[in-house]
Structure 1
Amino acid sequence: MTTPTTTSTTLPTTAVRARVTEPRARFRDLVAAEWTKLWSLRSTPWAFLVSALAVIGFNVGTAYDKYRYWSEADARSRADFVRDGIPLSIAFTANAAMILMLALSAIGATAIVGEYRTGLIRTTFAAVPARRSVMAAKVCVVTTVTTVFGALVSAASFGLTQAVLSARHAGVSIDHPGALRVVVASALLAPVAALVGMALGAVIRHSAATMVANVVILLLLPLVFSADRHWSAVVEHALPAGAWNRLVAVDHLPVAYPSTVTGAWIVYAAWALVAAAVAVTSVQRRDQ
């Protein structure tokens, strides 16, 4: 008597299972995820709102101060007000630029340091092993958001300050020589500062130390170096604040070693590109 044989269905072997992998995340999906993570923090909208109000408030406050005490200025000063480029220096003041750099560098740093502080970065990298792609998506989101923010704040500052000054017939329009450059340079200062903060956050990965580094690089170093000596001028011109000062300069005061407008734009681009590269590559071999 023979025993009938049955055909059994075998389960996939381990080797077969290994070949069945999930599809890689598309870059646009990573961008969408980073967009959600950025705006899921309650502090993000408030940080942008407070920063915008502070920057615009400083600029408009300076314009109102000129409006209020206009009659106390002598006739010659009032006559040379526009010719000397004072309306453009009020459109975006140095104090407002300092606030913008400090605030945006903090926002950029928080975008990465916050994930390391909560441990979310481990979950992210476990879900998407392509770490550089994740960071590249984060860089794209932060750059886009801060560029739009900078453009809105810069345009609003210019429009409101010139509206205040126009009440004294001292305002200028956007087609005034140098006006557009002031607006664009001030707008692009936002993403540059944010990328610097993100790069420092990706390297240092601690909130307090990252904020200190931001203050030193963006605010303190420009106060230490000047254009009076060649070596000092080289450093000063190579800093984001020094580049911004050259781009918005309207008085053209003589200095021993002046910079150029083209050189200032190059400094902007170099800081943004290097900071983005550091942020993307620094996560490749470090988990915490």
Structure 2
Amino acid sequence: MDRVTKERVWQFLNITEPKQARSRDFQKCVQGNARRDYRRSELKKQAHEYTETRRRWKDIHKSPSSVTESLSQDDLGIAGVALLPREGSWNRAASQWPEQDPGVSSTKQQATAGAGLIWTEEEIFEKEHARHLQDILHHSQTYLNVVVEPYISCPSGGRQDYYPLVNHFILAFAPSFLPVDKSLDQNPINSLWVSWSLASPVLSSAILACAAVHQDQLCGRKSSVQAVYYTGQTISLLNKALENLDMALSDSTIAAVALLIANE
């Protein structure tokens, strides 16, 4: 029987002989099972917190002021106020809204014949919010202080694991790969490479591959589907980039190669 002090998780094992409890292999087994159970409980807790945050974000559709009412300061982060649309952007968007017919729901409202489909209030808020969030990404220090719920606040047509992997790269991999003195304002990897990746598919794919591999290493598991997918995609994009001399010598391509080497 073993106990993890943080979560008070108990693990019961079958002991056939008294000396078995004193063996080194048995102690390693007990400790390994306890650590695994603790990691699972932490993942469940994070999943629950994520679900609650996502539910609150879905309720936001009337006005920006409802953000502060629906989310706590812990959810918004130190720079949580930066998640709100910039001053004036909401008013500009609101001026484009059509006058709502009392008999038509705002989520299904369409323009009169020949005028085409008009954006709903929810769609305008999401587009403004996504555009502002992309501006935040260019300043990595601000981005690090913001708790981002990516699937609602910054929708994308790509794979759903994109933003969690980018978050892991910024928050976990970059500080371990290049420790920076606290006197410096930003980590160079975050301030340069993450910004470059917005315009470089090969570097963007390399960042995702690196984050996926780093997650696997931390969890002590073999290559996951994410790691295999993004590593293969990065190698394919690198082969195409090396065919062009200008792209082969670009900073983003060199950074992508460095990240692939770091994964080995």
More helix by share: 1
Give yes or no for TM over 0.5: no
TM-score, normalised via structure 1 length: 0.31
The structure whose RCO (Cα within 8 Å, separation 6+) is larger is 1
TM-score, L = length of structure 2: 0.33
Structure number with greater Rg is 1
